[in-house]
Structure 1
Amino acid sequence: MSTVDNTPRWLAVAALAKIKNGAYSNLQLNQLINEHRMDRRDINLLTNMVYGVIQHRLTLEFWLKPFVRHPHQLDPWVRELLLSALYQWQYLDKIPQRAVFNETIEIAKVKGHPGIRRFVTGVLHQMDRSGLPAFDTIEDPDERLSVTYSMPVWLIQELRQQLGATKMEAIIASLNQPAKQSLRVNTALSTVSDVTTALTNDGLTVEPSKISPLGLVVTDGQAINTEAMRYGMFTVQDESAQLVVPALNVQPGDQVLDACAAPGGKTTQIAAELDADAGGEVVALDIHANKVRLIGQNAARMHVADRVTATDLDARKVQTQFDDESFDRILVDAPCSGLGLMRRKPEIRYEKQLQDSLNLQKIQLAILAAVAPTLKKGGIMTYSTCTILQQENQDVIAKFLADHPEFELQTTPTEQDLKADRTDKTLSIYPDDYLSDGFFIACLRKK
């Protein structure tokens, strides 16, 4: 076997070819990392290349097009090899162009026949001689933005209409920046100070989140492999996602419904606020039995299993198992398009269309309508999504309130008093605001 088979560059090309055929980037990366022995530097390069090529795909394809007559007729691995070479050449300053071209040609030589090697060599050398096409050659302004930021035209137009041109461009520009490694401290077991100390002692560099009082951001090192992670002192969770549970204002003895719970990040955050001896319990639902098991595993690792009851049930059928006014608090972290996660899951931008949001809106409203009767009078129901489109956020809340006058909208609180000058009672966190995930949170009180 050639040593090329185990290099980060070849593994990245192999992963990208599979991701183009429907494999999720994070799952494909985890599989490759588990199957091949790599040091931390190689893992970082592999991860950077896979996410980088996906993030910048439209830009890279624009640059490649003048040099390949029919790029989509190439074998997938050859196309991804050329795109990954372009990505390294244009975006990774620390890797010399010569090294990028040499290893790209070597991969073509080992993995393909002599004709493929000659073809790849010719394309790379012609790109070097001729230079890459400039964005200002694109006449249509939306198409130019699409290629510059590698973002679909429909999303550019929709965000401009909803938020204005300046905010739209700030959002799409921010989404190509690296995602932060953010953690939530498990208050059932530890403190922010103790976790900071434990990670620092393990050689990591950690700073407090500016968004969540329970959040930490790791700026150097990998927290997932530490003893503190295995013991459940913290979990990996984006800073924006950490804002949802505090908005519920959970009390120790509350009965809480987490209607769309898997994989259980917010379930365990709720459970940390509960006291099993006082009768506190969170009922965590998911439609898939295998995901329910994942909730249970997370609850056990975080030492809150005595306060969590996980069951497979479609939230739209909650009244088949629970009486009216069963819960003090309800969380509907609704299934959504996930467009706020594009920094972390870059392939989402190419998979979604506006119609997906409109279809999801129907599901989101159905879940809210189904669980609403099970909330006690005076109770709080928090609705959240990890998307940035009004169709799944403000429009859902407006339609729900129109049909349910027994509910009133309250101002979404945050302990750090985020966006204190906003006029909306709901809270919208956009990806450019704090370089965290995009999130929407609304608090509804039952009169």
Structure 2
Amino acid sequence: MQKQQSHSARYSAAKILASLEKNHTPVKAIFDRVVKQFSLPPNERNLTMQLVYGVLRQQQYLDRLLGLLSKTPIKKMDPFIHQALAVGLYQIFFLSRIPESAAVNEAVESCKTAKIHKRLHGFVNGILRQAIRTKEELQQKAQKDNKGREILNHPQWLVERWTKHFGNEATKTLCKNNNVEPILSLRINTTRITKSDYLNLLQQQGIPAEAGAFAKDAVILKDFSGPLTTLPGYEEGYFQVQDEAAQLATGLLAPFTINGRYLDGCAGLGGKTSHILQETFNLQAEVHAVDPEPYRLEKLRENIARLYLNPPLTVHQKNLQDFSVENSQLFDGILIDAPCSGTGVIGRHPDIRWNRRPEDLEHYRNEQQTLLTHAATLIKDGGILVYATCSLEPEENSEVIDNFLASHPQFELTDCTEMLPEPARIFVRNGFFQPLPAPSIDGFFAARLMKKQGIQGKR
């Protein structure tokens, strides 16, 4: 049996990517399992993550390089060989701080660790050394695929769909934004520290940071790459990691009312639940969080405990349908951050682009419509129902809202502009909050619905 120390970042990255190639499951679950299995120290873990996510963001380009270098078609390659070569090529073409010779040697060592047949060690070595010798020529040839189309590192069905919706140039920009590592965005927990004081704290520790561009409590760390737990104030609950788009979506529940009742109907890990608690901190409000998954609720409770002391929160381990049947009280505000295709956060989760299929959209839409229907039974007259996704697809966004309003005349769409800080109002189109992915913000969609006074729906 190999010693754990023999598992380098390059081997770990190739193993994770090979598993993803075979199983098409979310990469984070595979990554966490491998890191734990091999007991990778922090520096090796960070490099593994950089390699895995980097390869996924540049997968089409790297495969094009490999197609130019190898007579063996990629489909006939062993998945580990394929990914060991991809990891090597990524280092050679994208990571200037890693010596090219080290990228080659580590790829060969990875194959040895994986017990790949010895004759293939020479194949890997030869491909990568040829890449180094012909690097400049390859860089030119690999800009386009074998049909002459520009390499955008996204599946063709998604490129065609976005071109139809957003136009050719906007789609190219969108794809290029998705291929860049996103910046780290924090939401400052203003119940414990002000944003200005936290910025000063970061400055004192030599960590470059600036106020977010759109959300009132956001702080941006453009160059930070270490563990979040090493940031000042982590244990004290001074911040929550959250993109500005997600912060702005929760704000659409405003105005928050004294003694109000609020529900996060798809709570997940609790990012938006904690934000609702923050926004209602001095209002004697009551907050409820619903999610059926024990693991997610365990993480939610951990996050909330770090951020707040004895918050007015009730957690329900059940799905929204069961909760809506059993609950007898109505809410002033409900947030439905619905499960979706995730096409707005491909930059942050690069495996999504390769795992999704066109037929997935219908599955998600059915689930989203069901969630909205159950949420509608829980809202008071005059209450606010916010529907949000991190998708760019109309089937999951505007079409879901159109269908909901057609069958629920007691609700109306309100223009969300007034609920957003001035800089964020540029993202409102047709009354919806819908930024496209950019270096400063995730792709997102949110609709703010109000239940009309005195018009009864089905309960």
Deviations 1:123-181 (A, max 9, x none): 2234445653724664646xx24xx1210111111111112222111111110001111
Q: Residue 212 of structure 1 aligns to a residue in which SS?
A: coil
Pick one of 51, 54, 64 that aligns with 1:52: 54
What is the aligned partner in structure 2 of residue 365 from structure 1? Answer: 369
The residue number in structure 2 matching 1:257 is: 263
Say if 1:346 and 1:87 are closer, same or farther in 2 by CA, change over 3 A: same
CA distance in 2, matches of 1:136, 1:279: 58
Q: Give the aligned length.
A: 439
Residue 15 (structure 2) aligns with = 14
TM-score, scaled relative to structure 2: 0.88
1:134 aligns with 2:137: no
**Given that residues 7 and 113 in structure 2 are in contact (C-alpha distance below 8 angstroms), is that contact kept between their aligned partners in structure 1?**
no
Taking the TM superposition and a 5 Å limit, the aligned residue runs for 1:225-240 are 225-240=230-245
Contact 2:336 2:386 in 1 (8 A): yes
Matches of 2:230 and 2:143, distance apart in 1: 45
Mapped contact 2:397–2:445 kept (Cα < 8 A): yes
Any conservation in 2 of the 1:271–1:304 contact (CA below 8 Å)?
A: no
Verify the 8 A CA contact 2:331 2:380 in the aligned structure 1.
Answer: yes
Give 1:37 shift: 5.2
**Partners of 1:46 and 1:390 in 2: how far apart?**
35
Give the deviation of 1:71 after TM superposition: 2.6
Percent same amino acid at aligned positions? 29
Name the residue aligned to 1:92: 95
> CA 1:109–1:354 in 2, change beyond 3 Å: closer, same or farther?
closer
Where structure 2 has 5 or more consecutive residues not aligned to the other structure, the ranges are 453-459
CA contact (8 A) 1:251 1:273 kept: no
Establish whether residue 439 from structure 1 lines up as the match of residue 444 from structure 2. yes
2:420 maps to 1:418? no
Give the aligned partner of residue 388 of structure 1: 392
Pairing 1:281–2:282 present: no
- Residues 380, 95 of structure 1: alpha-carbon distance in 2 compared, 3 angstrom cutoff: same
- Counterpart selection for 1:220 from 219, 223, 228: 223
Counterpart residue identity of residue 361, structure 1: R
Partner of 2:75: 72
Is the deviation greater in 120-129 or in 169-178? 120-129
Give the unaligned 5+ runs of structure 1.
none
**Structure 2: how far apart are the matches of 1:38 and 1:202?**
24
Q: Distance in 2 between matches of 1:136 and 1:198?
A: 44
* Counterpart amino acid of residue 81 in structure 2: V
Aligned to 1:220, the other structure's residue is in SS state coil
Q: CA deviation at 1:62?
A: 1.8
Tell me what 2:324 maps to: 319
Matched-pair contact (CA < 8 Å) for 2:67–2:74: yes
Contact 2:22 2:79 in 1 (8 A): no
Measure how far apart 1:106 and its partner are.
Answer: 3.8
Partner of 1:103: 106
Secondary structure of the equivalent of 1:378? strand
8 Å CA contact 1:295, 1:310 repeated in 2: no
User: 1:109: Cα distance to partner?
Assistant: 4.6
CA contact (8 A) 2:152 2:176 kept: yes
| Backbone CA RMSD of aligned residues | 2.5
CA pair 205-26 structure 1, distance change in 2 beyond 3 A: farther
Aligned residues of 2:342 and 2:352 also touching (Cα < 8 A): yes
Distance in 2, Cα, partners of 1:19 & 1:421: 34
